[in-house]
Amino acid sequence: MDAIERYLAPRALRQALAVLAQPGGATVLAGGTDLMPQSHAGRVRPAPTLLNIRRIDGLDTVSLDGTSLVLGTLVTVTTLLHHPLVAQHVPLLTEVADRFASVQIRNAATVGGNLCNASPAGDTLTPLLALDAEAELARLADDGAVLTRRVPLADFFAGPGRTARAAGELLTAVRVPVATPQLVTRFYKGGTRPALDISTISIALATRRDAGVLRGVRLALGAVAPVPLRARHAEALLEGQPLDPARALAAARAAAEQDARPIDDVRASAWYRRELVRNMTQRMLDDVARA
Ligand SMILES: Cc1cc2nc3c(=O)[nH]c(=O)nc-3n(C[C@H](O)[C@H](O)[C@H](O)COP(=O)(O)OP(=O)(O)OC[C@H]3O[C@@H](n4cnc5c(N)ncnc54)[C@H](O)[C@@H]3O)c2cc1C
């Protein structure tokens, strides 16, 4: 790890944004479960200023704002797993948290860190994409005002470790539309173990079912491209259609052959990842059809 010249742990958002606005910025530290191992391994070079955001008031809350569930960036995976508002309004995230790492890692790992680390294998990325979530980013204006903007997650990921977050900005929250009674969701995480493992692939589905027909279909794939992505060809085959085995198979094939762009790496070959996408998407859709 490079020498850290300054370590700051402000309690106010404005102070943190002022640090980020300075020339050279700062490396943001949340739970540190990605940053610390990556720094020790020499895979990232932190800035001379390390900015610990864990003490900032109000960034670790879960709240309802109209039809959105707002997850502060410091909401941990443990909070996702146990918070009643998450279970009631976005149960898919409770399910995801239950498949995430170990208890020790869950206690420290934050939703914001998972998104900003931007690993295509990050477990909250595909469900949040499928749920049409938005990232909320804050920065300090020249007159000292705090400015915020929202970025749909579909536009947030730019590559492994890269996001649409501009210099001087901090991710402050993730806004997730609350589930309606018609919404059907599914999550699949493929790895060598059911949990405690980085995903070989992940798949998240969110769709409304109106009188047997699928509407607003969103299928997201993880670890099959440099960024988590929406399986647009598969979605188009499902949109506005009743779900039967032939359609499930066609959509699963489209997801594997047209949407996924996997590579060979230490966890799996590209061929195996395509097989997983096809088989697991089909299994997921068949399960929805039966439900
Ligand atoms: C043993 C182990 C098991 C793991 N298992 C899993 C797993 O099952 N699934 C999974 O998805 N991940 C897993 N991870 C990875 C990691 O735990 C997650 O990605 C976690 O959510 C990262 O959150 P954090 O708060 O620790 O982020 P940090 O390490 O603090 O930060 C990660 C990156 O995001 C930046 N950042 C953090 N917060 C902000 C913000 N608010 N604004 C701007 N930038 C920010 C940091 O600068 C850094 O670049 C595992 C890690 C370990 C060590």
pLDDT at 263: 86
Domain extent for 66: 62-176
Which atom of ligand 1 approaches the CA of 29 most closely? 30
Distance 51 CA to ligand 1 centre (A): 15
Residue 57 within a domain: no
CATH number of the structural domain spanning residue 157: 3.30.465.10
Residue 251 within a domain: yes
From the list 172, 184, 193, 164, the residue with the least C-alpha distance to 238 is: 184
Distance 83 CA to ligand 1 centre (A): 20
Residue 68 within a domain: yes
Closest CA to ligand 1's atom 33 = 117
pLDDT at 195: 59
Same domain, 284 and 190: yes
* Tens of pLDDT, residues 273-285: 999 999 999 999 9
Of 176, 192, 215, which residue constitutes the final position of a domain?
Answer: 176
Same domain, 201 and 284: yes
* Tens of pLDDT, residues 199-251: 789 999 999 999 889 999 999 999 999 999 999 999 999 999 999 999 999 99
CATH number of the structural domain spanning residue 221: 3.30.390.50
Placement of tokens 């009674």 in the chain: 181
3-state SS of the chain is CCCCCEEECCCCHHHHHHHHHCCCCCEEECCCCCHHHHHHCCCCCCCCEEEECCCCCCCCCEEEECCEEEEECCCEHHHHHHCHHHHHHCHHHHHHHCCCCCHHHHHHCEHHHHHHHCCCCCCCHHHHHHCCCEEEEEEECCCCCEEEEEEEHHHCEEECCEECCCCCCEEEEEEEECCCCCEEEEEEEECCCCCCCCCCEEEEEEEEEECCEEEEEEEEEECCCCCCEECHHHHHHHCCCECCHHHHHHHHHHHHHHHCCCCCCCCCCHHHHHHHHHHHHHHHHHHHHHC
> Can you list the residues of the chain whose pLDDT is less than 70?
1-2, 192-197
The pTM of the full predicted model, rounded to 2 decimals, is: 0.96
Question: Ligand 1 pocket check: which of 20, 79, 105 to mutate, most ligand atoms within 8 Å of Cβ?
Answer: 105
Number of domains in the chain: 3
Same domain, 106 and 204: no
Same domain, 244 and 268: yes
Question: Ligand 1 pocket check: which of 35, 76, 78, 165 to mutate, most ligand atoms within 8 Å of Cβ?
Answer: 35
Residue 211 within a domain: yes
pLDDT at 291: 87
Distance 142 CA to ligand 1 centre (A): 30
Same domain, 172 and 214: no
Same domain, 68 and 45: no
Same domain, 212 and 134: no
Same domain, 40 and 124: no
Same domain, 108 and 201: no
Residue 245 within a domain: yes
pLDDT at 132: 98
Closest CA to ligand 1's atom 4 = 101
Which atom of ligand 1 approaches the CA of 38 most closely? 29
Same domain, 170 and 190: no
Same domain, 143 and 105: yes
What is the Cα–Cα distance from 123 to 96, expressed in whole angstroms?
7
Same domain, 25 and 106: no
Residue 1 within a domain: no
Distance 278 CA to ligand 1 centre (A): 29
Pocket residues: Cβ below 6 A from ligand 1: 27-35, 37, 53, 73, 100-101, 105, 108-110, 112-114, 116-117, 122-123, 165, 170-171, 198
